Chains A and B, each alone.
Chain A
Amino acid sequence: MSANHEELTVGESLRRAGISRRGFIKFCTATASVMALPPWMGAAMAEQLRHAPRPSVLYLSFQECTGCFESLTRSFAPTIESLIFNVISLDYDDTLMAAAGDAAETALATAMKDNFGKYVLVIDGSVPTGAGGAYCTAGGRSAVDILREAAQGAAAIVCVGTCSSFGGIPFADPNPTGAWPVTALVEDKPIINVSGCPPIPEVITGTLLQFVSTGQVPDLDEHRRPKAFFGNTIHDRCYRRPFYDEGKFAKSFDDEGARNGWCLYELGCKGPTTHNACATIKWNGGTSFPIESGHGCLGCSEPGFWDKGSFYAAQSSAEWGKAGTPSPRRALELGGAAVAAGAVLGVASAGVSRLRQHRSEQDAADHNQKEG
Chain B
Amino acid sequence: MNLLDFARGPALKVAIAVFCLGVTWRIAAFALLRIRFDLNRPRASVFKFLAGGLLTVGSRSWPHREFIGRTAAGEALGYSYHLGLFALVLLFTPHILFLGSLFGVTWPGLPSSLITVISALTLTLFLAVLFRRVTNPVMRMLSNFDDYFSWFITMLVMVTGIAATAHFGAPYETLLGVHILSVDALLIWFPFGKLMHAFYIFPSRALNGALLARKGATS
Contacts and interface: CB of A to CB of B under 8 A. Distances in A.
Interface of A: 233, 235-236, 244-249, 265-266, 272-273, 275, 303, 308, 313-324, 328, 331-332, 334-343, 345-347, 349-351, 353-354, 357
A342 B13 CA distance: 16
Of A275, A321, A331, A337, chain B has the most CB atoms within 10 Å of the CB of: A331
Interface string B20-54: 11111111111111100000000000000000000
23 contacts: A233-B171, A233-B172, A235-B172, A272-B173, A272-B176, A314-B94, A316-B98, A319-B8, A319-B9, A331-B13, A331-B16, A341-B24, A342-B20, A342-B22, A342-B23, A342-B28, A345-B21, A346-B26, A346-B31, A347-B28, A350-B28, A353-B33, A353-B34
Interface in B108-133: 109-115
A249 B109 CA distance: 10
Contact of B24 (A245, A266, A316, A338): A338
Contact of B93 (A265, A349, A350, A354): A265
Contacts of B167: 236
Contacts of B21: 338-339, 341-342, 345
Nearest to B94: A316
Given A247-B113, A247-B114, A319-B9, A332 B102 contact: yes
Contacts of A236: 167, 172
B104 interface: yes
A93 B98 CA distance: 47
A342 B24 contact: yes
Interface residues of B, number: 48
B101 A315 contact: no
Contact of B104 (A235, A247, A323): A323
A202 B19 CA distance: 49
Given A273-B172, A319-B9, A346 B24 contact: yes
